[in-house]
Structure 1
Amino acid sequence: MITNTINFSPELSYNLEKLGPAEQLLFFDIETTGFTPSSSSLYLIGCAFMEQGTWKLTQWFAESLSDECEILRAFFRFASRFRCLVHFNGDGFDLPYLQNCCRQYQMDWGLSALESVDLYKLVRPCRQLLGLSSIRLKACEAFLGLRRKDPFNGGQLIAVYEEYLQSRDFRLLRALLLHNEEDIKGMFPLMSMLHYADCLCSPPKLLTASGDTGSRTLLISAELSACLPVPIRRTVDFPGAPQGFPEAVLALEGSSLHCSVPLYEGELKLFYPNYKEYYYLPEEDMAVHQSVAEFVDKSRRKKASASTCYTRRAGIFLPQPGKEPVFSPVFRQEHRSKTAFSLWEGIEKTDSALLQSYLEALFTEAASPRKNAAR
């Protein structure tokens, strides 16, 4: 077994205290020749930690297949000093693999006392907001613009390790150690993505909201709960809105959020829920209550249905995101139209708490699994 330790200065892009005291955190990653211990082997465990104010990186490397058990025991002994394991998708692969190794060697599970913090799971809820097709490590690194010296992926390194076992070529050993080293060091800048997760947990705070009736746009400025490392731009569409109605645009940069929400000028319908109490007047294209309809000739009226129980209103309207409208009364293009509208008149001067709720609904919609495209 080879043990390799170096000092390094990590790129601290996130407040580690949110995960725990730095001295109690152990960042780790493993390298294997396959997915299950029964048909592959564990050949490298690496970890980063703080010791007396200095960050260090230690790796245990199996010089032969027989070293697998030895590097496991060395890592377990070392990990017992810490309280929290930090990793990227370790809950999905690294930890189950090590547990299976323990069963194979009839060894006690050496990490039971440690809390597991999986960065992958913390970032995964942000996938839609970030506009990523996946939260795989390479995708996250590309989003942040991170570059690696290591030219290999984990699968390619299997052949490199097998060749090393035959040749003992130091250059191959260095390539194997480098890949693991960069995986571990990369977790520190990768943690900057947790700022997006923090924004999802704490909604943006409304600063200003003003309507430009000339451009038919509501402009919103807000403060984010975190400073984002990479600006993002998202759109929110309004299904069931009049044809050609544009999307809302959300621009997030640093700790600021700017929204541009289109206003609709035209005619929409106000639907009444208790349609059985109404009559529809085809000539007027409107519904009236039965107490009024009794004075209308029977030939000019008919029982209203859910889709005909409405009155029409012209004006300037604000679209409302999500399923639960913030403002009332609610207008729609048709009865089953998904997007609700409210009259813009008066909204600008409404209670700021309602405008805050509207902002939160818009932000939630931008981060939801719906198809909201990046621009």
Structure 2
Amino acid sequence: MKTIRKEVQTEPFRSRAFSLYTAGSEIAVFDIETTGLYPKRDSLILSGILRLRPDGSATATQYFSDRSGDEPEVIRATVRDLAECDLVVTYNGRSFDLPFLRTRAARYGIDTGALNMADLDLYMVLHYHSDLKAAIGSLAQKNVERFMGLDAARKDEISGYDSVRLYQRYMTNHDPKLEAKILLHNHDDILQLGKLLPVIEKTDFHRAMFSLGFGAGDFTVRELRAGDGGLDLRADKRRNAVDYILFPTPEQPYSLMMSRESGSLEVSFPAVKAAPGIPVIDARRILGEETMKTLEKYPAFESGYLILKKADRISYLEINAFVSAFLRQIGPRLSR
């Protein structure tokens, strides 16, 4: 296996919406190259990980299977690096890159249990939570790059299909020119994907995070449900989980159950009706006065209550902010 590591300079993306979900997070932009689309028969030949830092600097690391039998080593190195991050950014990674990695790891008995970080799949955000496809047609990464004015920064001229064919030739002659083309394609993919983060401003990002989940301290939110009866939360604790059960009391008006074995957390916050069709949660009682001061700037917090919805319009931003504050606050109690 070859390891290629380069320091690169990127323009840091600063956004209040993005920071709500990523403040203090270790972010990795991730992409893989494979010999095909089917992980049960095809191999992972190259992974690229771009580690982003707040000052705009970044490190691009590639793990390349340049010899037969290198795949397990590539997978171990990739899993190790991703497990160090709080958030992984991909483009269609939920459907392809991450499942492919896990399936190939399982083939070699490599544990991927540490890959419980939050994952931001920009393709899913654009596809389900924006009107961009209607405006530009294809949501292929390179087409979105053109829309965002980033295509001039891309140096490679090959496709993923081309990369597979080049790799097949490379494994017969180890031509350094072929290697350079394969590595450049993957390198440009992760570098360009890092630059694509501002596209979230073209989306309903808070609704996307409500639907897709996000990181909050040591937790990764997996599912949120908001309705007339209240708010239900399911999350995974990334490390040091405990067995814990909490029943509602006047002081803590919610139920909570956590499993040490699975790291899974389930919380239910019951709502009361402030008016017909307007369920609310007593956020001040749950979070305390000091935490509420940081949330009252958002419109759906009124008099210490979180308005879950009005006329079927869900308060995505405020619910996400409440859940993030709650998980960060309760985290130390749920650690061994």
**2:205 and 2:134 mapped to 1: Cα distance?**
12
Work out the CA distance in 1 between the residues paired with 2:124 and 2:181.
Answer: 29
1:227-283 deviations in Å (ceiling 9; x for gaps): xxxxxxxxxxxxxxxxxxxxxxxxxxxxxxxxxxxxxxxxxxxxxxxxxxxxxxxxx
Instruction: Return the offset for 1:22.
Output: 5.9
* Structure of larger gyration radius: 1
Match of 2:170 in 1: 164
Runs of 5+ unmatched residues, structure 1 = 203-359, 361-375
Instruction: Map 1:354-373; keep pairs closer than 5 Å.
Output: none
Superposition map of 1:169-248 within 5 A? 169-198=175-204
Structure with a larger share of its residues in helix: 2
Aligned-pair identity in percent equals 30
Pick one of 114, 119, 142 that aligns with 2:122.
119
**Quick one: which of 16, 20, 33 aligns to 1:31?**
33
Counterpart code for 2:7? N
Conserved 8 A contact 2:50-2:60:
yes
Return the alpha-carbon distance in structure 2 between the equivalents of residues 18 and 174 of structure 1: 38
CA positional deviation for 1:87: 0.8
Query: CA 1:107–1:3 in 2, change beyond 3 Å: closer, same or farther?
Result: same
Partner of 2:263: none
Measured against aligned partners, the alpha-carbon deviations of 1:268-307 in whole angstroms (never above 9, x if no partner) come to xxxxxxxxxxxxxxxxxxxxxxxxxxxxxxxxxxxxxxxx
Matches within 5 A, 1:69-84: 69-84=72-87
- Taking only aligned residues, the RMSD between alpha carbons, in angstroms, comes to 2.5
Instruction: Look up the match of 2:227.
Output: none
Find 1:107's aligned residue among 107, 110, 114: 110
Residue identity opposite 2:22 in structure 1: G
**1:194 is aligned with what amino acid?**
I
The aligned residue for residue 2 of structure 1 is 2
Q: Of residues 119, 136, 139 in structure 2, which corresponds to 1:135?
A: 139
Q: Distance in 1 between matches of 2:98 and 2:133?
A: 28
Seen in structure 2, the aligned counterparts of structure 1 residues 129 and 201 have a Cα distance that, compared at 3 Å, is farther
The size of the alignment, in residue pairs, is 203
Check 1:136–1:22 CA distance in 2 against 1; reply closer, same or farther (3 A cut): farther
Structure 2: runs of 5 or more not aligned: 209-312, 314-336
* Residue 188 (structure 1) shift: 2.4
Deviation at 1:81, TM superposition (A): 1.6
- Equivalent position of 1:152 in the other structure: 158
Structure 2 contact 8–58 (Cα < 8 Å) conserved: yes
TM-score computed with the length of structure 1 as normaliser: 0.50
Residues of 2 paired with 1:103 and 1:122: CA distance? 28
| 3-state SS, counterpart of residue 59 of structure 2 | strand
Q: Which amino acid aligns with 1:45?
A: S
